[in-house]
Structure 1
């Protein structure tokens, strides 16, 4: 048997290891040439505002007029609101207010939802966009362009396209506008006014927004109207619901007033989020 000195044997082992383990070899768990996958960017918002403090007291006084007639201690209780019960206040918070008056009762609620995507390929904003689209679709507005209408605040079906010739609102089929005193002109003017109050997509509110308006009546109880304004800004979806129930069965809550106040509050909340 040939004898190999210890020094020569050690040198042979070092050379063999160096030749078989180059620094440029790819890791065993990654295929050569495979692309690097980067996670989608997170949403803009990491926290949510304190919901019951999100509405200024001056605004609450305007939205809940019945509270002004109460003793000061009871007023404070009304304006404090009641926080919604949620399991994760970093993801969803809300608050409710209610006031009673001799002529009507009013309810206000706001909800903030911070959307988080657990799919690294889908951003928080994209996931929030999907959830918002479902809400818009549930209101029957998914295919409606901005400013268009899909229903009537009174809950009654709107007229068919044949009721008013295309391209001639407020006019006759021949395109000749009626005189201001004609009954048809008055009817068309009323229809145009109603159209402005129908459920619709809203402009210049967050990244996307819509308004819904529902008038309901259960049995012999008084009618109540609920106006909902939903908007999305980045990965947060905000819902404002403002309801009025008349004390008298014959009274119908005013759609225009409720819509104007609900939209004004929604814009304030959007501004608060952007600060």
Structure 2
């Protein structure tokens, strides 16, 4: 009788373990309510890197002119960066750096977003594609359907010189004033969504906001200049790319010390893209 009772107890325990299988060890990102075999695959990335340590010190020195001349203690403070406030660092994490030099101010904002789908029929990668697509649409890229730097792309975006968009910082945009004091067209070339910087000598269209090739799975570049007449003009170049289920945003801003100076678009775009490529490579390591 004791043997029979023991056998029944063992069978009951085994049944209990089977019914609870996987519930205690499931990953935080698991899609609930269905068997793993029928769920869409999870994303490649389950964690995010420390944003404030994602950019090498040598790169920061290049992106933040004037820091090399600072005392070592001040350099350390600048290069340490300031983490952006987030509620879940496994899903979103960011960092900001800023340097002030006699010639002007430079700043960098880096943001990592790891996308997780809670729909069992939608993979993390597919959900990340949707999130990225919304960011691309919100950027309102001129002629986004054309290949990057296409000769057929209109330098002014939609082709309507009176149609402008607003700077992500809320300062840029277009107006109907025609030109600013520097003779720069404010109706869609050097203010808001522009083509090239007139001072750079680059062909029209080559520096306009656009889709980017060979950068992660998808990428685009935006370039916004603050409105003419502002006390100090600043330009922000943003590069946004997706790699699997992670979306990375790089914002690089320059504000010259002299209000009459206009930040050079070519320099900022080249450096922002170089940083983005460096970050893509770090994800693939």
- Cα distance, 1:235 vs. partner? 0.2
Alpha-carbon separation, structure 2, partners of 1:130 and 1:64: 33
Relative distance call for 1:123 and 1:72 in structure 2 (3 A) is same
Relative distance call for 1:97 and 1:195 in structure 2 (3 A) is same
- Cα distance, 1:151 vs. partner? 5.8
1:266 matched residue in structure 2: 276
Unaligned runs of 5+ in 1: 1-35, 159-186
1:18 matched residue in structure 2: none
- Cα distance, 1:145 vs. partner? 2.5
- Cα distance, 1:246 vs. partner? 1.0
2:100 matched residue in structure 1: 100
Q: In structure 2, the residue corresponding to 1:120 is in which secondary structure?
A: coil
Matched, 1:144 2:145: yes
1:109 matched residue in structure 2: 109
1:59 matched residue in structure 2: 59
Equivalences for 1:117-156 in 2 at 5 Å? 117-141=117-141, 143-147=144-148, 148=150, 156=187
Relative distance call for 1:230 and 1:155 in structure 2 (3 A) is farther
Alpha-carbon separation, structure 2, partners of 1:62 and 1:139: 27
Could you list the per-position Cα deviations for residues 74-123 of structure 1 after superposition, in whole angstroms to 9, with x for gaps in the alignment?
00000010111111010000010000011110010110000000000100
Q: In structure 2, the residue corresponding to 1:42 is in which secondary structure?
A: coil
Task: State which of 202, 206, 228 in structure 1 corresponds to 2:238.
Answer: 228
- Cα distance, 1:218 vs. partner? 7.0
Alpha-carbon separation, structure 1, partners of 2:123 and 2:186: 38
Greater gyration radius: 1
Task: State which of 180, 190, 196 in structure 1 corresponds to 2:206.
Answer: 196
Matched, 1:157 2:188: yes
Q: Which runs of 4+ in 1 moved over 2 A?
A: 141-146, 148-158, 217-220
Could you list the per-position Cα deviations for residues 218-246 of structure 1 after superposition, in whole angstroms to 9, with x for gaps in the alignment?
75411100000000000000000000001
Matched, 1:213 2:213: no
> Contact 2:64 / 2:99 at 8 angstroms: preserved in 1?
yes
- Cα distance, 1:66 vs. partner? 1.9
1:78 matched residue in structure 2: 78
> Contact 2:218 / 2:242 at 8 angstroms: preserved in 1?
yes
> Contact 2:144 / 2:210 at 8 angstroms: preserved in 1?
no
Per the normalisation by structure 2, the TM-score is 0.69
Q: In structure 2, the residue corresponding to 1:108 is in which secondary structure?
A: strand
Task: Give the superposed CA RMSD.
Answer: 2.2
Q: In structure 1, the residue corresponding to 2:62 is in which secondary structure?
A: helix
> Contact 2:108 / 2:250 at 8 angstroms: preserved in 1?
yes
Alpha-carbon separation, structure 1, partners of 2:42 and 2:222: 30
Unaligned runs of 5+ in 2: 1-35, 158-184, 190-197
> Contact 1:140 / 1:150 at 8 angstroms: preserved in 2?
no
